[in-house]
Amino acid sequence: MEIATKEDLTIPAKYKGFLKNQGKILNIDSDPEVVFTTDMIYLRYALAFGYLKSVRSETSNIRKVIHEISIYNDLVKKVIDRILAATLRVFKLRKAEQFVFSGLYDSIRIYELNHNTLHALESLLRLNLASILVIKTFGTGLSPDKAGFLAPLAKRTMNSIEELRKFFNTPFNETFVSLIDFLEISAVFYRCLTLYSIFRLNLFENDGLTKRNKDYKSILVENHVIAKEIYAQLEGLKKKQFKSKDSFNVEENRRFCSIFFEKFAYSYLDE
């Protein structure tokens, strides 16, 4: 509560569903332990997503200045700190879920108060954290070590995105529609990032900056195929029609995805 007051974060006084039960008061049991447990879970959620909302304008600005992100280190650091704080709030709740959720009794069947929902929200926050770390990494130039770090990060994040797409596959309301569209854009971004990391590692290998595992011809052929696939993925994203009217989470991210690879990848892909 002290943190929420200091950061001027709004915590709801009533329990209104923010996912499946959006806009409706949750029908929780009146048992004091259930009410207290619901308090605990919702305060965690409110604080975590309050942190994210508090850097909404900074996040939007980062998307706009991605062409010169290297000179906006303070902006990136602020967003990283808030997203990390949000992720830790939900991560700690998940680590203690066997103790916390037992106090819900039958109310655990409510969508927002379910183990699976908690796991999905944590994965969603980890996705946000991974994205801002990628931006920070590219802001200081891509080295062999950084490319080696990005490749497995992108693959792990792709796996998380696929799990999230399965979880949020039914559009109960506008929140779900935005999430589904956001995750589709994220899937394209991380698919291209995975490919581009391999592309750059191949170039580093060809230049003798990393251990050689492929011959020169194999690298040329593989990079040619990768470049064509990245262009195809991004062109498909530009033409994709999304159902959501969410500008911040959908349209801004669609534009950012294209601009990001135009800035950091196209010169290498063209060559």
- pTM, to two decimals: 0.90
Question: How far is Cα 180 from Cα 169, in angstroms, rounded to an integer?
Answer: 7
Question: How far is Cα 42 from Cα 132, in angstroms, rounded to an integer?
Answer: 25
Could you tell me the sign of the dihedral formed by the alpha carbons of 19, 123, 85, 180, in that order?
negative
Picking from 89, 118, 141, the residue at the C-terminal end of a domain is 141
Based on the fold, state whether residues 148 and 269 are members of the same structural domain.
Answer: yes
Contact of 196 with 265, CB cutoff 8 Å: yes
Based on the fold, state whether residues 153 and 265 are members of the same structural domain.
Answer: yes
Question: How far is Cα 21 from Cα 107, in angstroms, rounded to an integer?
Answer: 13
Count of Cβ atoms closer than 10 Å to residue 158 Cβ: 17
Which three-class secondary structure state does DSSP give residue 170?
A: coil
Gyration radius of the chain's alpha carbons = 21
Residue with tokens 């802001």: 139
- Segments forming the whole domain that contains residue 179: 142-271
Question: How far is Cα 230 from Cα 134, in angstroms, rounded to an integer?
Answer: 17
Q: How many Cα neighbours within 13 Å face the side chain of 270?
A: 7
Residue count of the chain: 271
Based on the fold, state whether residues 76 and 53 are members of the same structural domain.
Answer: yes
In which residue ranges of the chain is pLDDT below 70? 1-14
Based on the fold, state whether residues 124 and 12 are members of the same structural domain.
Answer: yes
Based on the fold, state whether residues 71 and 112 are members of the same structural domain.
Answer: yes
Picking from 94, 120, 141, the residue at the C-terminal end of a domain is 141
Which three-class secondary structure state does DSSP give residue 189?
A: helix
**Whole-number Cα distances in Å, 253 to 161, 172, 268, 269:** 15, 22, 23, 22
Picking from 92, 119, 141, the residue at the C-terminal end of a domain is 141
Based on the fold, state whether residues 5 and 70 are members of the same structural domain.
Answer: yes
Q: Angle at CA 14, nearest 5°, toward 22 and 9? A: 90
Closest CA to 198 of 186, 183, 210, 188: 210
Residue 16's beta-bridge partner residues? 25
The domain tally of the chain equals 2
Residue with tokens 């399965």: 166
25 backbone dihedrals φ, ψ, rounded to 5°: -70, 130
Q: Encode burial over 189-209: b for 16+ CB neighbours within 10 A, e otherwise.
A: bbbbbbbbbbbbbbbbbbeee
Based on the fold, state whether residues 150 and 260 are members of the same structural domain.
Answer: yes
| Predicted pLDDT at 25 | 83
Based on the fold, state whether residues 157 and 260 are members of the same structural domain.
Answer: yes
Q: What's the distance, CA 155 to chain centroid?
A: 13
Tokens at 179, concatenated:
């999430």
Tokens at 222, concatenated:
């593989």
Based on the fold, state whether residues 62 and 196 are members of the same structural domain.
Answer: no
Residue 22's beta-bridge partner residues? 17
Based on the fold, state whether residues 125 and 205 are members of the same structural domain.
Answer: no
| Predicted pLDDT at 212 | 84
Based on the fold, state whether residues 43 and 106 are members of the same structural domain.
Answer: yes
Based on the fold, state whether residues 155 and 165 are members of the same structural domain.
Answer: yes
